[in-house]
Amino acid sequence: MIKVTRSNKPAISVFRVCALAASMSVFATATLYFAGVFNGDKVTAQAFVDLQQGSTVHAGFRRAHAKGLCVSGNFESTGLLSAYSTATVFKQGSTPFIGRFSIAGNNPTAPDLKAPVRSLAFVVNTATEDEWRVAMNTPPVMAVATPDAFYKQLQALSPDPATGKRDPAKISAFFKAHPESKAFNQWKAGYTPANSFATEQYNSINAFYLHNAQGEKQAVRWQAVPSMSEHEVAVLDKQSPDALQQQLISQIEKQPVRFDLKFTLADSNDDENNPTIPWPSSREVINAGSLVITGWGFQNEGACGAQNFDPLVLPKGMSATADPILRARGAAYAQSYRRRATETLLNKSKTSQEGAGDASN
Ligand code: HEM
């Protein structure tokens, strides 16, 4: 079994931090959007990330999905989505991507098998106008449809500071007050975590638009569907806090890990702005291509460490729906990114000052 050893140092290059500073005006706009200037939501990105990071700040790490493993490979497009989108990534062919498997939560050393949600993020066509960033989770739907309600959901699920435990009465009161969480809770009741990151299904949850050359638009959601089945994966070391990471590393070293990206096309009865409602299984599904994962790296060393997988960064030929949850994500991810980037930069500058002091002594 491969041993996952990882330094607790996060990784973000100074270059990335400078690039971030250059994009501050974009960030300011996103923050205003989330702060309610445009959509009436009361919760700000700052308040959201304060709540997500909790009382123990893990400096330099993501404030949500803090524990992850970097991966890389190619997106092999079937070309079948070209009729719906002009994005170059959907033309038939192969494009490199970097990605990250993670577990939900603010703790970069949390035990893999205790997390309720697992995730896969990736970015294709990095640093071009056709860049496509994606962050997907295991549930197919959200429990609630607005940032305000999601904030309250996180509050209800947060451990009581006095006892360190969740309050079941608070949680059930929250879900009772939010009947729109029915589909999410049904999924949760029937969900059995897979024995590997490589055999989970990951969902876009929010809907997006595809735009074709004729100027038509089509609402879609997508799902990363694993090619491997449960009985093909190596046995999990259930005692290890890094069980899923170790198992994925040994899997990738044996053979590429593949997922098909299956796009579901909405019809006029589906509400693309409400992420709590599943779309009927009778909707047309198109296989856009496969993510073929051939490499991995620890997040403090790999290319994904400094990446912000903001789902609002979309190529030409795709756009965001008005779903308020989707719209809120960009500002929250930027807020988390800004905090971890600043901490890493301060840490670097402290280390280099200490180094200079040593040299002069
Ligand atoms: C209002 C709703 C949401 C908020 C406020 C939120 C907030 C955040 C924040 C602050 C981060 C850390 C970003 C970073 O430092 O790079 C994050 C990461 C992530 N979120 Fe969300 N999120 C929301 C909804 C969602 C949804 C609906 C999904 C799934 C479809 C999702 C999937 C992910 C994933 C996969 C990551 C980790 C990406 C990575 O590997 O860097 N989030 N989220």
Could you give all domains of the chain from N- to C-terminal order, each with its CATH number?
14-360 (2.40.180.10)
pLDDT over 70 (residue 235): yes
Is the beta carbon of 206 within 6 A of some atom in ligand 1?
yes
Is the beta carbon of 121 within 6 A of some atom in ligand 1?
yes
Q: What is the pLDDT of residue 359?
A: 40
Separation CA 280–CA 86 (nearest Å) = 26
Average pLDDT over every residue of 280-289? 98
Burial class (CB in 10 A: 0-12, 13-18, 19+), 86: middle
Of all helices (H) and strands (E), which one includes residue 168?
helix 168-177
Most confidently predicted of 24-33, 41-50, 259-268, 293-302: 259-268
Tens of pLDDT, residues 91-127:
999 999 999 999 999 999 999 999 999 999 999 987 7
Tens of pLDDT, residues 211-227:
999 999 999 999 999 99
Separation CA 9–CA 344 (nearest Å) = 8
Tens of pLDDT, residues 236-258:
999 999 999 999 999 999 999 99
pLDDT over 50 (residue 283): yes
65 is catalytic: yes
pLDDT over 50 (residue 15): no
Is the beta carbon of 219 within 6 A of some atom in ligand 1?
no
Reading the block at residue 2, the tokens are 């491969």
Reading the block at residue 225, the tokens are 């569907």
Average pLDDT over every residue of 43-52? 95
Tell me the pLDDT of the chain averaged across its residues.
Answer: 88
Tens of pLDDT, residues 320-332:
999 999 999 999 9
For residues 1-26, one letter each, b for 16 or more C-beta atoms within 10 angstroms of the residue's C-beta and e for the rest, the string is: eeebeeeeebbbeeebbeebeeeeee
> How would you write 292-331 as a 3-class SS string?
EEEEEEECCCCCCCCCCCCCCCCCCCEEECCCHHHHHHHH
Nearest one of 307, 252, 312, 335 to 97, comparing CA atoms: 307
Tens of pLDDT, residues 134-165:
999 999 999 999 999 999 999 999 988 888 89
Question: Concatenated DSSP letters for 71-106?
Answer: EEEEEEE-STTTTT---GGGSSEEEEEEEEEEESSS
Average pLDDT over every residue of 169-190? 97
Average pLDDT over every residue of 35-48? 69
Reading the block at residue 98, the tokens are 């970097």
User: Which ligand 1 atom is nearest residue 65's CA?
Assistant: 37
Beta bridge partners of 68: 102
Catalytic residue among 58, 65, 178, 231: 65
Separation CA 24–CA 21 (nearest Å) = 5
Separation CA 260–CA 77 (nearest Å) = 10
pLDDT band at 9 (very low <50, low <70, confident <90, very high): low
pLDDT band at 23 (very low <50, low <70, confident <90, very high): very low
